[in-house]
Structure 1
Amino acid sequence: MKLNSIRLTALLFATVLLGALTAHAVDKLTFVVVHGATAGGWEWKKAGGFLTADGHTVYRATLTGLGERMHLNSPDIDLQTHINDVVNLILFEDLHDVVLTGHSYGGMVITGVMDRVPDRIKHVVFLDAAVPDDGMAVRDMFGGQSPQGPNFADGFMLVPWVKPGDKPPHSVKHSIKTFNQPVSYKNPAALALPVTYVAFVPKYESGEERAKTDKSWQRAVARGWTIRTFPGHHVAHQEDPRGVATLIEQSVNDVNKPIATSAAK
């Protein structure tokens, strides 16, 4: 009887352990992270490292002309070039159930990716990112004018904070064409994807104040997306990479809220 009891206990333990391991395995995700303007995949090395340490697969995309691909830089690079970068990464790596994450300008890029390959995407996270309507360009978020001023010249947004002789990684000048080309966001399957919008809110600002002026936040609310906030500046992923990595992981279970038909149009 004692031997049977030991065997039963061992069997129950093995069953529970197997169940736990199986559940743990299901939680392992595939992340594709898209950086913001002038940056590169390097900017997400620490946050991506935490995601990898948690057992996930992480692809840190670097858009054409930026980061380690700066040798390809050209004023002819447009938004569609960058959308193609990420779409082709997903297709050629044969990725499915992707958690597509974009920061800042990366929101424009992932919007186009959503429209192109919604069947490959599990969840989308906009991290302090641009949320455009269909047919909108970055310039439309700033009065409809093409970027102008001393930091814009020869078809590029310049990076004056990078000094000659600075060692990589660092920001790289960014083609203005990417800011002037509109994005497509009308694929019904893309519109139905679950999405989380995260606002990085510094200590001197409240979420309530931000919600009143942040047009991207307002569009996210109108679409029924989940809204989250995270304490920090626009580059919170560099200030607190562990915290941002955890936030992204938690966001995957967010679901969209139902919206009225009139609001969806």
Structure 2
Amino acid sequence: MKTFLLIHGAWHSGRVWDRVVPRLTQAGHRALAPSLTGHGDKEHLLGPDVGLDTHIADVADILTGEDLTDVILVGHSYAGMIVSAVAGRFPERISGLVYVDAMVPADGESVLDVMPFTRELIDAAPSWRIPPMGTFGVTDPADVEWLRPMLSDESARCFRQPARFDEAALADIPQTHVHCVGDTPEGVARRPVPPSARVWELRSGHDCMVTVPGELTELLLKAG
């Protein structure tokens, strides 16, 4: 049995994995999908001081607080920043790292470095709160209706803070990159992945856990 720790991206909550968690469970694994500070059941905690470091601490606290080992750590979108930092700090607890259409930082880089277009989002926002940018490739009306209540504002500090981690430790962890190829927003460019990493394509919009949860689950099980 593996433990899958599923980390949602910016503006989302842990509920976005609700169509994937039961599938992983039915396959005999444990699956955890927490909401990060400022989202879901923690939305009331959102403030200008919430940043990338806050979310890294959220995930690190789960790893250490529950003494998790042999973890498949999965990060979607912005959470690529988070899982990179967590895995680089706790490599002994991570048996696999999965980037789901996710940002891939180097040590010391912020979201602004990885995805420069996010500067426009910060500049356009009336305050430190950055509102959600559309429905992330989800187009079916029923799916959009299900997704919208999960979406909430993000703190600009999440995009400004750098990710700090041991790159050598991260390089020793098996990596899988799932690229959603159904709809790539303008201004989004993929980073090169390590030669040793597996790369799989999934025909879907960005929020593949909403639109093709079965296909994504199959890839996660292969990665595990």
The TM-score with structure 2 as length reference comes to: 0.86
Conserved 8 A contact 1:111-1:132: yes
Aligned to 1:123, the other structure's residue is in SS state strand
In the TM superposition, what is the alpha-carbon distance from 1:143 to its structure 2 partner? 3.4
| Percentage identity across paired residues of the two chains | 30
Distance in 2, matches of 1:146 and 1:125, equals: 26
User: Following TM superposition, by how much is the alpha carbon of 1:111 offset from its aligned partner in structure 2, in angstroms?
Assistant: 0.7
Q: How many residues align?
A: 211
Counterparts in 2 of 1:41-190, with a 5 A limit?
Answer: 41-143=14-116, 146-148=119-121, 152-159=125-132, 169-190=149-170
Q: Following the alignment from structure 2 to structure 1, what is the Cα–Cα distance between the partners of residues 131 and 6?
A: 23
Higher percent of residues as helix: 1
Q: Which has the higher contact order (CA 8 A, sep 6+)?
A: 2
Secondary structure of the residue aligned to 1:215 is coil
Q: Deviation string for 1:155-185 (max 9, x for gaps)?
A: 01113769xxx99842010001010111113
Name which of 3, 21, 40 aligns with 2:13.
Answer: 40
Partner residue, 1:239: 211
Could you say if the C-alpha distance between residues 167 and 193 of structure 1 is closer, same or farther in structure 2, counting changes exceeding 3 Å?
A: closer
Is structure 2 residue 187 aligned with structure 1 residue 215?
no
5+ residue gaps in structure 1? Answer: 1-27, 206-212, 253-265
CA distance in structure 2 between the aligned counterparts of 1:34 and 1:160, rounded to whole angstroms: 19
Aligned residue in 2 for 1:19: none
Q: Quote how far apart the aligned CAs of 1:60 are.
A: 0.3
Task: Please name the residue that 1:249 is paired with.
Answer: 221
Which 4+ runs in 1 deviate beyond 6 A?
A: none
Whether contact under 8 Å (1:101, 1:110) holds in the other structure is: yes
Q: Which moved more, 1:90-99 or 1:148-157?
A: 148-157
TM-score (normalizing by structure 1): 0.73
In 1: Cα distance, 2:125 partner to 2:49 partner: 15
Unpaired segments of 5 or more residues in structure 2?
136-145
Task: Tell me the secondary structure at the aligned position of residue 248 of structure 1.
Answer: helix
Q: Tell me the residue number matched to 1:228.
A: 200
Aligned in 2, Cα 1:229/1:76: closer, same or farther, shift over 3 Å?
same
Matched with 1:208 is none
**Who wins on radius of gyration, i.e. which is larger?**
1
Q: CA shift at 1:187, angstroms?
A: 4.6
Q: Deviations over 1:202-238 (max 9, x none)?
A: 1x78xxxxxxx8432x1x1x45211111111101110
Question: Given the superposition, is the C-alpha separation of residues 82 and 96 from structure 1 closer, same or farther in structure 2, using an over 3 Å criterion?
Answer: same
Contact kept in structure 2, 1:47 and 1:245, CA below 8 Å: yes
How much has 1:115 moved relative to structure 2? 1.6
Could you tell me how far apart the structure 2 residues matched to 1:93 and 1:125 are?
21
What letter corresponds to residue 231 of structure 1 in structure 2?
A: R
Amino acid at match of 1:174: E
The two structures, once aligned, show a CA RMSD in angstroms of 2.4
Amino acid in the other structure paired with 1:185: F
Please tell me whether the aligned partners of residues 147 and 176 of structure 1 are also in contact (alpha carbons under 8 angstroms).
no
